[in-house]
Structure 1
Amino acid sequence: MSRSVRLVPPAAALFALALTTTACGGGVHGTPGGSGVRDPYFPKAGNGGYDVDHYDLALDYTPAGRRLTGTAVITARATQDLSAFNLDLAGLQVDSVTVEGRKALFARAGQELTVRPHDDLSKGETFRTTVRYSGTPRTLTDPDGSKEGWLPTADGGLGLGEPVGSMAWFPGNHHPSDKATYDITVTVPKGLQAVSNGELADQSTKGGRTSFHWHTAQPMAGYLATVAVGHYDITRTRGPHGLPIIAAVDHAEAKESKEVLAKLSDIVDWEEYNFGPYPFSSTGAIVTGDSDAGYALETQNRPVIPADQFNTETLVHELAHQWYGDSVTPSSWQDMWLNEGFATYAEWLYGEDHGGESAQQTFMDLYNGDNEAIWAYPPAKPSSAAHISDSPVYLRGAMVLQKIRQKVGDDTFYAIIQGWAATHRYGNVDTADFTAYVEKKAPGHDFSEIWKDWLYGDGKPAHP
């Protein structure tokens, strides 16, 4: 871990000067891009002045010693004239930075890696930044106390990124509003596997080390990127309409996970019937050891689920996120209920269709129950960063959807949730987008009470 500036004093002085001056002689007169995009809960996350199109990450990880060496090639488009821009990177040692093949000045301050290109960048210009870095990747602690970033495991490591943990293992624009495609190549000691998002494009072994190249063709938010290194049993099967299913199960958990894993294809088929066509080019799961992570996460293409949580309900929930959260992604962390409310409601619908309680009965059980935490804050306005994963976002968020279903009936309701996923596929949305969409697709219905009492209102609504 290092926060030192990798410049001799004269260059550091020039760097500081470069950030406060513009180009001369009729060239581009850029200004620095913003550090952070002013997310209401994670204001330092992300950066202004550019949009990333693609990440090409080459990672070399040795579990013994927990050493990571990385090269990140980031292709982006300037959204303003830029004299400098920032990348999010927590810890690790930056060894060099180039922009468009020319050496760039850089400095570190906390999670901010500030880069000053040799030449200012013009608005609309596509540019390529290469960052070479190394060190021991950090495990970060979220405001709610959970662990993310790089989690060492008994035989490898696990990269998890919600909400900002991906910056612990690669530099980038780490806010869900900036989605990109990915190539992630991970090199590990021979005998270990490295699993990531998308599809395996190439695998090769040389000099006692094996490289796994994973390609993600559809846009992905940085928090959904993952790398799992260890002894995994990898299976490749086919799901609905030939959809590739790639599952990686911790070797010690393979037998216990087999029964639930066998349901994956049918769950995707059921979710396609309810939510519309599956939005990505493959699906699957990564089943880790019990102690590797204390939670499941909807990492794109294949959710990460600890073995002790690998059950049907969790698989339904995390796969539903492929539509709601992964493909249709919130513009800020304030809108997390658009992820979790939908995925929770998917569990209710699945239970309703598979011999369990109806969604309405689940709704009434919650309304009449003694779980007061549900009413702590409205789902569209979490009380703080420490509470964006609390029960109002999940359970009361799902209750909002059930209220809409009550109002419009099943035919219109399913048209709404399928249309929402299709209309905003691979994009970013906020709560106002959703309420406007519902009102547009269900004209003649008054949703003002639902929005006021259930989505934005404080406390328990007076009537279910």
Structure 2
Amino acid sequence: MISLKPLVSFILILIGLSNIYAQNPNALESIIHAEQANYTRNHNTVDQSLMSTANNKSDIKYTRMHWEVDPAVSYIKGEVMTIFQPIENVQNLDFDFSEALTMDSVKYHDNSLKYTITGDQIQVHFPSTLLHGSTDSLTFYYHGKPTSTGFGSFIVDEHAGTPVLWTLSEPYGAREWWPCKQSLNDKIDSIDVYITNPVAYKAASNGLLINESIANGKITAHWKHRYPIAAYLICMAVTNYEVFTEFAPFGNQTTTILNYVYPENLEDAKAGVAQNVTHMQLYDQLFGMYPFQNEKYGHAQFGWGGGMEHQTMTFVTSYGYELLAHELAHHWFGDKVTCGSWQDIWLNEGFATYLSGLCYQYLLPEYWLPFKQQRIATITSQPGGSVFVTDTSSVNRIFSGRLTYAKGAMILHQLRWICGDSIFFKGIRNYINDLAIAYSYAKTSDLKRHLETVSGKNLTGYFADWFTGQGYPSYQVSWSQDITQTIHVKLNQTQSHGSVDFFEMPVPLKINGPTGQSITIVLDNTFNGQNFSQQINFPIASVEFDPELWLITKDNTISFVVGVDPLNSDGYSLNIEPNPIQNGILQTIIESPTEQIIQSTIESIDGKIMMNKLVSIESGKTSKQFDVTGFPCGTYSLQLKTKQGSLTKKFVIH
């Protein structure tokens, strides 16, 4: 159990605002579809040349960017100074840089360097060999009109008739507007961003706003960020923003939430951000302090569908509940710990999707079940598909709503089910705080390792089935109950895709009695056709499959199986043949070691007594008939009370 006492006052705010931002059961799908549409504005696939071609011969320590822009003009003039350390002796270094831009010069120790541009790569040539481990720097001077590769990397647009400019670099768009290393293996340790634009506009970016200075009709904003950052998370947005500040309290600490908003959306933004405070407090309790606490969290509004988790300055198109929860979650999962390859993008998007679901579970619980229902329906709408991204040239595949977002979220949910809450959240906290990957990059193997360590479980099979494997299981549950009130269950499973021959999972069944009794049993299903028996201690009226939706599954069936009573002790037995019964006559064969008079009772599934009378039986086998003409169709139980105890058998009337 997780204590949420510090959230109580903010939950009251949420209740008051919930009518404004009522849950849309398709909220995530709307976000994803908008994002995909914008990512693929011109292309559904990515030419391999658009991926990073920068070599990994240097460690970028610091970058200072100075960009001059006008939101009414698709043009950028830039000066980018980079401090680096070679990780081997080098005489040249490669950087990602769009050939659509013009490189004016590359300076090194105040001298111009020779360079070669090939496609979207610039290679700089040093006058002498740079030694491994030395610290050096160079500065790029460039200008031009950035082109779009389908990702909307550098966009000039309008809102309410006012120009707006924004950048969006994920996954391969950073090079479209600045020279960088956009591979997922080297975060820049710290940055300073200077943005100069006409004085009528404000500029938003990463980190802390240090100052704004005005000269010659232009304003320059200086943003300072002192946390490691991936190239695709660096951003700027410029328009006539209204700015307001919200605060998220955590005991003696407070996190600033700085918001750059279109003037026409100011009131909506204030309402949405107030809810975002509670999200931040929840994530703090589950996963630890906001990772960029020494600076700020922020929102800048832009015109692209959905949102983008630029580090400390999320870009959002609107202020809906799930969108804000999703993008904030990325600052733990995506920004602090970033996927180490686009094949592992679920470590960003699956986590953020699941955390937005946790906001429903803990803050608006009435939406938790619909959230899970929608995710499972999305996943199982097609029979195949792997969370592991095999084709990183396809933007549609990288950002697949069904696989990366929904299935990524629900395989985390299943891991929580397998491990249990306390172990699961401990493992996730260990993962997010692992010094080897915190403020750096992670692979799926890192998450697996941490969950295995805290749980003591071998999760190799799970990740083979659910991360690299495709599809999902469908279960066929058969059950019966004997006179000792033991339930007997047989589990069969089919798979939607041939890549997995069997999904080993703990399967929950809720057992309901006729007068409100219930118990949930968990069956460790490791092979097909597996049988289970468990004492229940009350007559069973119905069995429900996974009512809390822990499992990714579809088209499950539950059937009551009538058969010979497994108990045949002391010479007693009760058989019903045929079953379901025919012609309104219940025919039984009762076996008893002695002649006696017994009590016979027929009870409906809801506990109603339909018949109660004494019958005489002989030693050995006795054939008895009971008239059930007029009984409604359904399932009933016949109970015989003998000298030695009770015999119970269910029967069906069609």
Could you say whether these structures have the same fold, taking a TM-score greater than 0.5 normalized by the shorter chain as the test? yes
TM normalised by structure 2 equals: 0.61
Give 1:45 deviation, angstroms: 4.5
> Aligned residue for 1:200?
209
Give the aligned partner of residue 157 of structure 2: 153
Q: Which one of 144, 149, 161 corresponds to residue 135 of structure 1?
A: 144
The 5 A counterparts of 1:263-282 are: 263-280=275-292, 281-282=294-295
Distance 1:437 1:184 in 2: 36
The aligned residue for residue 416 of structure 1 is: 427
| CA distance in 1 between partners of 2:368 and 2:460 (Å) | 22
> What residue number does 2:183 align with?
175
Aligned with 2:304 (options 266, 286, 293): 293
CA RMSD of aligned residues (A): 2.2
Q: Is 2:318 the partner of 1:314?
A: no
For normalisation by structure 1, the TM-score amounts to 0.84
| Aligned with 1:249 (options 243, 246, 261) | 261
Change in CA separation of 1:362 and 1:259 when aligned onto 2, cut-off 3 Å: closer
The residue that corresponds to 1:30 in the other structure is: none
Contact 2:86 2:132 in 1 (8 A): yes
1:194 is displaced (CA, Å) by 0.6
Cα distance change of structure 1 residues 233 and 284 upon mapping to structure 2, 3 Å threshold: farther
Residue equivalent to 1:396: 407
1:362 CA displacement: 4.5
> Per the alignment, in what secondary structure is the counterpart of residue 195 of structure 2?
strand
1:332-351 deviation digits (Å, cap 9, x = unpaired): 11110100111011011111
SS in structure 1 at match of 2:83: strand
8 Å Cα contact 1:49/1:85 also seen in 2:
yes
> Structure 2: how far apart are the matches of 1:210 and 1:204?
6
Distance 1:374 1:122, change over 3 A: farther
Computing the radius of gyration from Cα coordinates, the structure with the larger value is 2
Deviates more, 1:319-328 or 1:429-438: 429-438
What does residue 134 of structure 2 align with? 125
| 1:69 aligns to 2:74 (yes or no) | no
The offset of 1:373, in angstroms, is 5.3
Verify the 8 A CA contact 1:264 1:284 in the aligned structure 2.
Answer: no
Deviation at 1:156, TM superposition (A): 3.0
Question: Comparing 377-386 with 418-427, which one deviates more in the overlay?
Answer: 377-386
1-structure distance, mates of 2:281, 2:378? 35
Using the alignment, how far apart are the partners of 2:241 and 2:370 within structure 1? 40
Aligned to 1:60: 68
The amino acid of 1:221's aligned partner reads A
- The equivalent residue for 1:453 is 465
Maintained 8 Å contact 1:359/1:402: no
Structure 2 gap segments, 5+ residues each: 1-46, 474-494, 496-502, 504-550, 552-654
**2:83 partner letter:** T
1:438 to 447, 451, 457: 451
CA distance 1:41–1:364, shift in 2 (3 Å): farther
Partner residue of 1:26? none
| Distance in structure 1 (CA, Å) of the matches to 2:374 and 2:173 | 35
Q: Following the alignment from structure 2 to structure 1, what is the Cα–Cα distance between the partners of residues 50 and 381?
A: 23
SS where residue 106 of structure 1 aligns?
strand
Distance 1:410 1:439 in 2: 14
**Cα deviations across residues 60-82 of structure 1 (Å, max 9, x unaligned)?**
11234433111000111101111
Say which SS state the counterpart of residue 182 (structure 2) adopts: coil
Aligned-partner residue type, residue 290 of structure 2: Y
Q: CA deviation at 1:140?
A: 2.4
2:69–2:197 CA contact under 8 A, matched in 1: yes
Instruction: For 1:361 and 1:156, locate their aligned partners in 2 and report how far apart those are by CA, in whole Å.
Output: 37
| Percent pairwise identity | 26
Q: 1:213 to 1:122 in 2, by over 3 A?
A: same
More helix by share: 1
Q: Is the contact between residue 83 and residue 117 of structure 1 (CA under 8 Å) also seen in structure 2?
A: yes
CA separation of 1:377/1:46 partners in 2, compared to 1, >3 Å: closer, same or farther?
A: farther
Bigger shift: 258-267 or 406-415? Answer: 258-267
- What amino acid sits opposite 1:305 in the alignment? V
Q: Contact 2:428/2:450 (CA < 8 Å) preserved in 1?
A: no
**Cα displacement (A) at 1:159:** 1.0
Q: Which residue of 2 aligns with 1:219?
A: 228
Q: Does the 8 Å CA contact 2:211/2:222 hold for their aligned counterparts? A: yes
Establish whether residue 164 from structure 1 lines up as the match of residue 177 from structure 2. Answer: no
Change (3 A) 1:133 1:455: same
Aligned-partner Cα distance in 2 for 1:257–1:98: 43
In 2 relative to 1, CA 355–295 (structure 1 residues): closer, same or farther, beyond 3 Å?
closer
Task: Write the deviation string for residues 18-68 of structure 1: whole angstroms up to 9, x where unpaired.
Answer: xxxxxxxxxxxxxxxxxxxxx999753543211111110011112344331
Give SS of 2:227's match.
Answer: strand
- Give the corresponding residue for 1:349: 358
Q: Is the 8 A contact 2:325 2:356 kept in 1?
A: yes
Residue range with higher mean Cα deviation, 113-122 or 351-360? 351-360
State whether residues 400 and 450 of structure 1, in contact with CA within 8 Å, keep that contact through their aligned partners in structure 2: no
Q: Which has the higher contact order (CA 8 A, sep 6+)?
A: 1
Amino acid at match of 2:91: S
Distance in 2, matches of 1:259 and 1:345, equals 23
Query: For residue 444 of structure 2, what is the amino acid of its counterpart?
Result: T
Instruction: Identify if the C-alpha distance between structure 1 residues 447 and 357 changes in structure 2 by more than 3 Å, giving closer, same or farther.
Output: farther
CA contact (8 A) 1:420 1:437 kept: yes
Q: Is the 8 A contact 2:246 2:274 kept in 1?
A: no
Please state if 1:51 is matched with 2:63: no
Paired amino acid for 2:128 = D
Supply the distance in 2 between the matched residues of 1:373 and 1:212 (Cα, whole angstroms): 48
Give how far 1:176 is off.
2.6
Q: Determine if contact 2:93/2:124 at 8 Å carries over to the other structure.
A: yes
Partner SS for 2:127: coil
Look up the SS of the partner of 2:152 in the other structure. strand
3-state SS of the aligned residue for 2:307?
coil
Number of positions where the alignment pairs a residue of Structure 1 with one of Structure 2: 415
Residue 92 of structure 1, CA deviation: 1.4
* Residue in 2 that maps onto 1:328: 337
